[in-house]
Amino acid sequence: MLKSKSLNIVAIIAHPDDLTFFCAGTIAKWAEEGHNIYVVCCTSGNIGTVRTDLTKEQVAEMREKELRTANKILGVKESLMLGYPDGGFISGPELRKRLVYYVRKLKADRIVTFDPWATYEVHPDHLIVGRMASEAGAFAVFPLLYPEQIKEDIEPYACSEVWYMGLLGHLPNYFVDISSTLEKKINAILKFEASLTLIAQLFAPNIDLANVSPEDLKKLSKYANKLFRSMAAGIGQKVKLKAAEAFYVQKILPGHFDNFQEQMRAMLGNPPEPPKIC
Ligand SMILES: [Zn+2]
């Protein structure tokens, strides 16, 4: 049932598993509320394994399949693959142009992406994707930018906000209650078999990740299930929710973020506004 105006929400991510790990509960909740969810995945994720028996093509194929299966569970309307190679090969200006096109074409009201100013973010794809997605959100409104894109069905578009996912960046100013969609999140995460091995050192240090057997994979799924439940509970605890995901949200003005009040508050030594819960 649609509670408010239906929004076009575009998640712009670097690798097939990025969105699911960080904010699948929120995406599923927004889809249930009747918003249109699109995912633009910039790279094929083709080096995303520590296994030694796979080619880049095989990894890319596996990960795209996983993304599409997971996105189906979450209620994503359309998943678009831009096909850049994984691992730091994206040209910023080229990506910005392509993302401005998608902001215009999909009439993106809200962008979800990586915080490109996050502390200790080492992955070049996360940084460039977060930065160019933010710029695309702020600049798609200018008709003289990439005017060749403006055609009958594609017009300049004023995106309203960008939601940065993950906890490495700015302190969160939005918490989303995902108690009702946590099961969907866990189900979606467990579709990412190839990706689970990448983070398995967090929770399964004894498994040889270069040679994962089917039994190991079952164990990994079990451990991952536990890990992501406790992550959601840990984030929720901060705001007295059973399960939550956290975001840092910036409102957009043409070519800028609308953060003047926030900067003034910080400059005057006042504490930030308490986070919003939705
Ligand atoms: Zn990633």
Would 66 be classed as within a structural domain? yes
How far apart, in Å, are the Cα atoms of 174 and each of 19, 125, 245?
A: 17, 25, 8
Name the token pair of 83. 């096909």
Identify the CATH number of the domain in which residue 113 sits: 3.40.50.10320
Instruction: Tell me how far the alpha carbon of residue 61 lies from the centroid of ligand 1, in angstroms.
Output: 16
Would 214 be classed as within a structural domain? yes
Would 74 be classed as within a structural domain? yes
Instruction: Tell me how far the alpha carbon of residue 81 lies from the centroid of ligand 1, in angstroms.
Output: 14
pLDDT at 263: 87
Would 1 be classed as within a structural domain? no
Instruction: Tell me how far the alpha carbon of residue 21 lies from the centroid of ligand 1, in angstroms.
Output: 9
Instruction: Tell me how far the alpha carbon of residue 278 lies from the centroid of ligand 1, in angstroms.
Output: 26
Instruction: Tell me how far the alpha carbon of residue 120 lies from the centroid of ligand 1, in angstroms.
Output: 14
Most confident stretch, 25-34, 169-178, 182-191: 25-34
- Expressed as residue numbers, the domain containing 91 is 8-277
Would 116 be classed as within a structural domain? yes
Instruction: Tell me how far the alpha carbon of residue 267 lies from the centroid of ligand 1, in angstroms.
Output: 34
Instruction: Tell me how far the alpha carbon of residue 249 lies from the centroid of ligand 1, in angstroms.
Output: 20
Would 270 be classed as within a structural domain? yes
Residue 3: CB atoms within 10 A of its CB come to 8
Instruction: Tell me how far the alpha carbon of residue 141 lies from the centroid of ligand 1, in angstroms.
Output: 28
Instruction: Tell me how far the alpha carbon of residue 125 lies from the centroid of ligand 1, in angstroms.
Output: 7
Would 2 be classed as within a structural domain? no
pLDDT digits (tens, 9 = 90+) for 208-251: 777 778 888 888 888 888 989 999 999 999 999 999 999 999 99
Would 3 be classed as within a structural domain? no
Instruction: Tell me how far the alpha carbon of residue 224 lies from the centroid of ligand 1, in angstroms.
Output: 17
The reply to whether the predicted model has a pTM over 0.85 is yes
pLDDT digits (tens, 9 = 90+) for 72-85: 999 999 999 999 99
Mapping DSSP onto H, E and C, the string for 90-101 reads: CCHHHHHHHHHH
The span from the CA of 240 to the CA of 27, in Å, is 21
Instruction: Tell me how far the alpha carbon of residue 3 lies from the centroid of ligand 1, in angstroms.
Output: 32
Residue 13 forms beta bridges with which residues? 41
Q: Please tell me the total count of domains within the chain.
A: 1
